[in-house]
Amino acid sequence: MTYTEEGRAMSIASCMTDVPHPGVFIAEELEARDWLQRDLAYILGVPEQTVNMIVSGKRGISPEMAKALGDAFDVAPAFFSNLQNAYEMSKARAPDPAVARRALLQSIFPVREMIKRAWLEDTDVPLLEAQLMRFFRRNDLTAITHMAHASKKSGDYATDTPAQLAAQLAWLFRVRQICSEMITPAYSEARLRQAIAEFPRYMVDPEEVRHVPRILNDCGVRFAIVETFPKAKIDGVCFWEDHQTPVVGMSTRFDRIDNFWFVLRHELEHVLNKDGRGKSDEDVSVDTDLQSDNAHHLPPEEVRANAAAADFCVPTEELNSFFLRKAPYIGEKDVLGFARRIQRHPGIVVGQLQRLMERPEYLARLKVKVRQFVAQSAVVDGWGVPAPVQL
């Protein structure tokens, strides 16, 4: 045979505008060898009609036939497979140009999930791109960057994948989109500090978390709960709208009473310290995992917020004293009595003890769910129901 290299067929075919059927090459080879079609049929052990239909271009070359032809002509079977693939590709219709554009958008943003959650309307690509620019407040999709914020999330931000970063970015801007439409009084740091001092009265009964959104609103803090993306693993965020109105977003990814109060207090500490305020959108501050033991790797503002949140959930001196007196055998009765004395729900105490003891399974059943209660008064987006905001 004239062509023996495996890739030669694809090379030839790629140079042709109108790629011929593989039967053309077989006919040429038969002529070069002075074989008849019935000779090839005899060699292959198939009816002469089978060879005729391939040579005439009425039938393609199957993988089995490619192997047989390879043995007959002493070439690699891939030669004929490549000829067939090149022919079929040349006859295939060109795809809709929107396919490549949608693929590009999905590679940058979690578009499909955003449409599923009604953050975007499912429409043609130009309008979809316009929606994305409006969502991210940019006139150029290539100019979208993280806005200034301080947030609590799991994992090491430096090792996040592009998909995780895109999911986090979309979540952050959804919080911003929702909270930008809220009407609140001017922010008052004094009122917020007073509210935080009064929060413990709501930390005994899980249902009392329903008061949190109203209290924060009275302080001038915009608050929303937005379901996170599976890849984002983000729990909370604090940023400033127009550098003067604090925004706190939570995902309640871990729907537990201890996590709710810890994350909330952590973000409010960012508010009190004005973390993220006055930064440009390109100057990003993202928290690492607050539940980890690698506190020495955290920036100072995160260490400060973690300490404030932990002491808020269970006063540090009280917790240490209780632990020294009762460890290593701390029973449920002990925990219930301690929680009653310091006026906290037992689940909040358990959350702090679990970290202190490094036993995440310890009395975990006491850590009750609270999302259903806070959702009664908060603006909530997710879990099948989008927030009522203008797209």
Return phi, psi of residue 323, to 5°.
-65, -40
- Strand pairing partners for 240? 246
Rounded CA gap, 54 and 93, in Å? Answer: 22
Rounded CA gap, 98 and 317, in Å? Answer: 61
Q: Over range 289-314, report the average pLDDT.
A: 78
Q: Over range 120-124, report the average pLDDT.
A: 95
Task: Name residues whose C-beta falls within 8 Å of residue 122's C-beta, 6 or more positions apart in sequence.
Answer: 115, 128
Q: What is the pLDDT of residue 159?
A: 61
Local structure of 121: helix, strand or coil: coil
Q: What is the pLDDT of residue 152?
A: 61
Mean pLDDT of the chain: 88
Return the structure tokens found at 108. 């940058």
| Burial of residue 239 (number of CB atoms within 10 Å: 0-12, 13-18, 19+) | buried
The tens digit of pLDDT for each residue in 186-224 reads: 999 999 999 999 999 999 999 999 999 999 999 999 999
pLDDT of residue 2 exceeding 50: no
Task: Name residues whose C-beta falls within 8 Å of residue 250's C-beta, 6 or more positions apart in sequence.
Answer: 223, 224, 225, 226, 235, 236, 237, 260, 263, 264, 267
Return the structure tokens found at 348. 């909040």
The tens digit of pLDDT for each residue in 138-169 reads: 898 888 776 666 666 555 445 678 888 888 88
CATH number for domain 8-91, candidates 1.10.260.40, 1.10.8.60, 3.40.50.1970, 1.10.357.10:
1.10.260.40
Using alpha carbons, select from 351, 353, 354, 345 the residue that is nearest to residue 373.
345
Domain boundaries, the chain: 8-91, 96-144, 146-381
The tens digit of pLDDT for each residue in 232-287 reads: 778 899 999 988 999 999 999 999 999 999 999 999 999 999 988 876 554 434 45
The tens digit of pLDDT for each residue in 13-72 reads: 444 457 999 999 999 999 999 999 999 999 999 999 999 999 999 999 999 999 999 999
Whether the CB-CB separation of 204 and 341 falls below 8 Å is answered with no
